[in-house]
Structures are given as C-alpha cells and as structure tokens.
Chains A and B, each alone.
Chain A
Amino acid sequence: MSESNKSPIRKRPRVAVVKFASCDGCQLSILNLEDDLLALGAAIDIAYFPEASSDMQAGPYDIAFVEGSITCPEDLPRVLELRQQTTTLITIGACATSGGIQALRNWSDIEAFKRAVYPNPEYIQSLSTSTPISEHVTVDYELWGCPIDKQQLLGVLTDLLQGVKPHIPRHSVCLDCKRQGHVCVLVAKGLPCLGPVTRTGCGAICPSMGRDCYGCFGPAEHDSARPPGVPPNTASLAQQFHQHLQLIPVEMVRRFRGINGSVQPFQEESHAWESK
C-alpha cells in the first residue's frame, strides 16, 4: 500500500482485444461495462480493440483478451504471433475457451456444408474443425460463458492490475442458485438442468428465470487431466435425466453437445449416449 503511494503514476498496461471466429458478443460485454468504462480507460491503455476503435496499435501487449475459436488456416499464424506479442493471454467466452457452438462442425462434414451454401465452394478456406485457443498456444486464464460475465472480466482485470493472481471459481452453478434463493428447476419442475455439472460465473441467469441451465459456462471443475473421481459427474446426472425425466438418448446427446460440446467431459457424455 505504501509502495503505490510512493509511485502514484503507474504505467498503464497495454491491452489488446482480439477476435477469431465468434459472434462478438463477448467483446460487446466489455463495451457493456458502462458504469466502469471511464475508470477502465484510466486504468489501462487500450492499444488494439477494433470493435471499439479504429486506432489499432501493434504489439507487444501486456494483456490480450482473445475471443473466438480457430476455424481458418490463416488463424493459425495469427494466434501464434499474438501469443509471442502478449505477456498475459486470456480467452473470453465459449468459442475461444472450448471451440464454441461452431465446434458442432467437428461431428459433421465441412465440405458438404460448403457445397450446400456456396455456389463456388472452392473459394472457401476453412478448417474441418473449430478448436479452442488453448489447443494452439498457452493460455494464462480462461473466462467461460456465452457470453462471458462482464463483472468476472472486470474482477480478473482488477486483480491483474494489482499483481494479484485472479481467482476464477470452478464450482457448480447450484451453489450460486441457492445463494440467490432460486428454487431448483430440476427438483421442483423436472427440467433437465445442467447446473450441477456446469461451472459457475453467469450468476445463475437461466434458473433465475425458471429455465434449465444449458451449460454455457462449460464443465464445473474441468481439469484436462481428468483425474478419476473428480467432478463433473456428467454420467450420474445423465442417468437421472434418462431414468427420472425420461430423456431419450438422442435428447441426451443434444443436451451435452451444445455451446461447449467439444470440451472433454461434455464430449465424452454425448459420445456415451450416441452409442446407446
């Protein structure tokens, strides 16, 4: 505390907001931080954010927020270049973090799509898969959600500005549902809510509206090493959907193959039901 008083002029970190294949909704979440935008502008130097400004400065950057997934050949050198130019790289949203809804192509024939949509499909340069940023470069922090929670982004940025390691909770949505006093839609309405296996962060928006969570913040406690016995227990929840809510296998596949369908625990669960 006395340190910062001795040096009140702290260098503002240079921040980039970069887009790959995505809908721009997560970038808009940053612009929607209306009450905090002035303070944000004072705290950071927005060096590159084409969605917000035509003044696009080259790197290096202290912090890069990356939206979108890798879907085209030219994305690959771009993401490598960005990583080399960036000290702290943070993915924002489901696309960048897990491949997003467009990763549904991973189960389909991209060539057939091209032929169906475009009169001259040979002009379309597109990869057959949509993959998360972490499959190509090292990612320092991941913000999940479709879209991200803007307050969570602000919290991470606040921590980084002070040199504090950001803490992004990994527990289930249920804890926040109960903290907010929402009645469980799975138990009281029989809706196939993914909240028990989905990571918190959204503020339990869907259950607060009486709707079932569809997992847009990805799997709770997800660890790519998948140690045995560690949550999320998608198999048990799926059994409950099947036996007590009468969801048939094809509905189960759709349930887990959504916005984060390509992330390991959800992918494994959809595969398990596809073969039933």
Chain B
Amino acid sequence: MSSGSVQTLPLQLFLREDFPQLLQTLKQLGYQTLGPVLSQGAIQWKAITTPEDFPIDWKDQQEPGSYRLEPDPSPRYFNIVHGPESLKPLTFAPRETLLVLDHQNNTFSAKDIQPDTTPTAILGVRACDLAGLGIQDQIFLHGTYPDPYYQQRRENLFLIAVNCTRAHATCFCASMETGPKAQQGFDLSLTEADEDFLIEAGSVKGLKVLDQLTSSIASEERIKEDEERIGACAASQTRSLPKANLPAALYEAHDHPRWDHVAARCLSCTNCTMVCPTCFCHGVEETPSLDFQQSEHTRVWDSCFTPDHGYIHGKNFRPTTKDRYRMWLTHKLAAWIDQFGTSGCVGCGRCIAWCPVGIDLTEEVQALSQPPL
C-alpha cells in the first residue's frame, strides 16, 4: 500500500462503463475537470466533460528531440503517457499579474490581483508529476514566505493519478524512485486496463469521491497482475541517473571537458527548463501605461539559459552556453540536494524529449562521471 494512502477500503475495481460517474461526481462537488486532451500534436490539460474528450485511440512516442502521436486501437483514456506540460503551469502560472499600481497624489496604491480559485480536478496525473509538484510545494509553500498565488491554486486541486504501465525511451522515473506508481500526494489513483480500473483513495477528499462510485473489491489476482504491469513498466526503462554518485560527481566535474562538448550542441533556448516540473525561476516585469499613471507588476517564467538571468549590475556572469548548461545541470542534480534535501529531477524525461536537439541529461551525467579522456 502506498505511503500516502488513507485507504480504509480494500483496493476497488471500477468498471470502464461506470467511468462517467467519476466525472459526474466531480461536477456535483463543484470541480471543473481537466484532463489530457489532444492539442497541437500532443496532449495538454484542457476541460474534460465527457469520456469522449479523452484521447482514445492514440498513443505517444517519445525520443530525444522528438514527440509523435500515433494511432493505437485501444479503449484506454490514459494511453498517452504525458505531454510537454507537467502540473507546473496549473500552480505556478507562466505569466500572472500580481499587482496593479496606481499613481495618485504624490504616492501610489497597489491592488492585489487574486488568481482564479475554481476547484479543479485533474485526471491523469503521472507519478513523476506528483513528485514534481511535491518539490514545487517545498519551494513555494514550505519556505519562510509561502507564495499566496501558488498556494491558492494548489489548495484548489483535486489530483487523480494514473499509474504508468507504459514507459518511453526518455523515461527514468524508476531510477529516481518517483514512479511509475504514484506514491503520494494524490486524492485518487487509477491503474487502467482495457475493461476497468483499479481505484484507490489517497486522501479524505478522495475517499468521499470514491464512496459515490459503483465499485467492488478487487481480486488478489487482479491486484497482483497490475503490480506486475507497473513493475514491467519500471523494468522497461532504459535510461537512469546514478543517484548514489550525486551530488559529488557533478561538483568534481566542474572543469570537465564534457561541458564544452554539450555546449556545442545546446541552443540555450530554455525549453528544458520550461518543461521541467521543478524549475521555478521567474522574473518580474513592470509594464507602465504611457502616461505613467498605472503599472502592471507581472511575474513570468524565466530560465537560467537567458542572457538576462545571469546579468547583474552591468555584467553577465554566465555569458556562454557552457556556463549556463553547467549551472542548470549542477543545480538540478547536485546543489538542489544541498539546498532542498532532494534531487531537482523526477525522471519524467521531458527535458530530453522537448530539447530541439535531443540533449540527454542522463548521457551527460554519465560522461561527466567518467574521468576526462
């Protein structure tokens, strides 16, 4: 049983034909429901109102620098593992106005802009994304100054995890010990088969929803069968990160010639940091009106790969791509451990698939862990 479980019922079997009950129950409880929806050649979190909104008959193929959807005759709703978006844009908004400043009589007033706080249920959250959310919670909620914008969105989420039974060439959650089974942080979790789902509650909120559904006690054989499918998914993963060697391996590699090798390929385009479920860098923009009577104070996603990120007082102290890639990888996989007590990587593989030139951080870490040739 998973560590985050508040299960008081044995694992339940929930039939595919009863799935609309889940959508109805969530609706009755006042949740808007988001799930994986085909969009622009991938999947994105969009409104789900009926089971037909799911990307049935499709699966994704992910390779370094490549993401493709292809037809797949399957009745499953969660056949596509994931798209470019983790949960990050739903809690840490890519662009949001925090304050509007008004200039009045020699001074100014600031008006807080509150985020939309509609309770939102998300169907199809993967174990790696839950792990990523846990890391972002630590950054935005558990420090000295909790972020109210993040907090309001976060508290309104109802998370329905789906355990992975299919891994991509880019996946390495097993080596990061974050998946393929959702371990904690979900309200409900599902393991999908063609005819039915195993369903489990991970919170009191989840249990209330589960109580509304028509389900039956799952057989021992069925539970074992699903554990085996999840285990096979973990075993099928070909990439891994040597967790035991980190952080030391990267600190010791500071002057390794491999950094020049990867810098010759890296575009400094920021895509890896944008799709990363844990990258949290942001900038603040001030947009005044032409008459300077009003200004919008806006927070935007930023990246350690931009020229502005390392620019301080007339000088960019990370001018080259090599400086930036080394900064990113060393922070993500090494300094993060010292800073937050966990790795900054959850093994989702998005930075590999969505890198326009297919740079693979697991390959880079492996090369950096070897003595220079």
Contact = CB atoms under 8 A, between A and B. Distances in A.
Interface of A: 1-2, 4-5, 36, 39-40, 42-43, 154-155, 157-158, 161-162, 169-172, 174-175, 178-190, 193, 195-197, 210, 220-221, 227-233, 235-237, 239-240, 244
Interface string B308-330: 10000000000111100000000
Interface in B39-60: 39-42, 44
Given A40-B290, A183-B39, A244-B66, A236 B319 contact: no
A196 B265 contact: no
Nearest to A171: B306
Contacts of B308: 169-171
B65 A183 contact: no
Interface of B: 39-42, 44, 65-68, 83-85, 89, 94-95, 103, 105-108, 263-271, 274-275, 287-292, 300-303, 305-308, 319-322, 353-358
Contacts of B68: 188
Given A36-B290, A172-B268, A174-B271, A1 B356 contact: no
A231 B267 contact: yes
A186 B106 contact: no
Given A171-B306, A178-B270, A240 B108 contact: no
A158 B319 CA distance: 29
A159 to B, nearest CB: 8
A37 B303 CA distance: 35
Given A184-B354, A229-B263, 10 more contacts: A1-B107, A42-B291, A172-B269, A183-B41, A187-B65, A220-B269, A229-B320, A231-B307, A236-B265, A244-B358
A211 to B, nearest CB: 11
Given A174-B271, A233-B266, A187 B354 contact: yes
A1 to B, nearest CB: 7
A230 B303 CA distance: 16
Contacts of B39: 183
Contact of B84 (A158, A184, A229, A230): A184
B42 A172 contact: no
A178 B67 contact: no
A244 B355 CA distance: 13
A187 B353 contact: yes
Contacts of B40: 182-183, 185, 188, 210
Contact of B356 (A2, A4, A196): A196
Contact of B270 (A5, A42, A175): A175
A155 B108 contact: no
B85 A181 contact: yes
A63 B328 CA distance: 41
Contacts of A36: 290
A139 B288 CA distance: 25
Nearest to B84: A183
Contact of B271 (A185, A196, A229, A235): A196
A188 B289 CA distance: 38
A151 B94 CA distance: 20
20 contacts: A155-B287, A162-B288, A162-B292, A171-B306, A174-B269, A174-B271, A175-B301, A178-B271, A179-B301, A183-B83, A187-B66, A210-B40, A221-B268, A227-B320, A229-B319, A230-B321, A231-B267, A233-B268, A236-B357, A240-B65
A188 B67 contact: yes
A152 B358 CA distance: 32
Q: Which 7 A-B residue pairs are closest in the complex by CB-CB distance?
A: A178-B274, A229-B320, A196-B269, A183-B40, A188-B41, A171-B306, A231-B268
B274 A175 contact: yes
A197 B267 contact: yes
Given A178-B271, A233-B267, A236-B267, A170 B103 contact: no
Contact of B306 (A175, A188, A244): A175
A228 B303 CA distance: 21
Nearest to B264: A236
Contacts of B357: 236-237, 239-240
Nearest to B93: A179
B267 A158 contact: no
A178 B301 CA distance: 9
Contacts of B288: 158, 162
Contact of B291 (A39, A210, A232): A39
Contacts of A237: 267, 356-357
Nearest to A164: B288
Given A1-B106, A196-B267, A178 B275 contact: yes
A155 B232 CA distance: 55
A56 B292 CA distance: 29
Given A2-B106, A188-B67, A195-B269, A154 B290 contact: yes
B94 to A, nearest CB: 4
Contact of B321 (A2, A179, A229): A229
A240 B359 CA distance: 11
A4 B292 CA distance: 10
Contacts of A233: 264-268, 321
Given A183-B42, A188-B68, A232 B267 contact: yes
A52 to B, nearest CB: 17
A220 B271 CA distance: 14
Nearest to A4: B292
Contacts of A161: 290, 292
A1 B103 CA distance: 9
A29 B165 CA distance: 52
A157 B288 CA distance: 11
